[in-house]
Amino acid sequence: MIKIYIAIIFSLLFVSINGFSQNTNYKSADLSPAGVILFDKGFSALGKKDYSSAVTIFSKIIKVYPKLSIAYYDRGLAFYYLNKPMEAISDFTKALESDIVLLPEGLSKDSYLSAVYTNRAAVYLLQFKYMEAISDCSKAIPLDPKHLKTYLTRAKSFYGQQKYEEAIADCNKVIELDSNNTSSFKLRSDSLRAIGKITEADADLEKISQLNKSPNGF
């Protein structure tokens, strides 16, 4: 046992997935030596973007440790990058349902769960499943209230539902936490424009221009 509108919306939908397994030290757990070796190989495959090999390796780990949350999480990452969203969602769901006994050093259980919910939301978003994405983000936020990607993913989902005021509120939260986040200014600008606040929308575009000229902008 181991202890609006399709063109605009599509341009806004890309959400990168959180990965924190590669090249990380793990808290102690009763993994066999063979299990440790497999994990190392799996992390290496993810780091090298060899996602097919990563799926194979983490599948072997899951066969031995069928309740190990992080193994489903990492296989879900690989499925995501292989453009297999249904498999990614299934594995992120299993990660939420499984035992959380092996985590990177310094990562709390709540932060881990928040990341899994946010990643599943990101996949839902790419499938235009806005309600599911919003639901997952709303579960993730109390677990890690300063996770920018969660607010931005939910903002994009609200935008997809044409709930522009809610999208603006989440963009405001991102900007409050990171005043250099150009993605949030762009989404807020589009949301403001959608409700007729052209002056404010243009101001956000100007802010993006200023950030792009600054060495601290990204």
* Residue-range domain boundaries for the chain: 4-19+128-218, 21-106
Distance CA 92, CA 117 (A): 8
Segments in the chain below pLDDT 50: 1-17, 20-28, 217-218
User: 108: Cβ–Cβ under 8 A, 6 or more apart, which residues?
Assistant: none
**pTM (predicted TM-score):** 0.84
pLDDT confidence of residue 31: 72
Please tell me the CATH code under which domain 21-106 is placed: 1.25.40.10
Domains 4-19+128-218 and 21-106 share a fold: yes
The phi-psi region of residue 106 (left if phi > 0; otherwise alpha if psi is between -120 and 50; otherwise beta) is left
Which pLDDT score, from 0 to 100, does residue 5 have?
28
Q: What is the CATH number of domain 4-19+128-218?
A: 1.25.40.10
Q: pLDDT tens digits for 134-179? A: 999 999 999 999 999 999 999 999 999 999 999 999 999 999 999 9
φ/ψ of 65, rounded to 5, equals -120, 75
pLDDT, position 2: 34
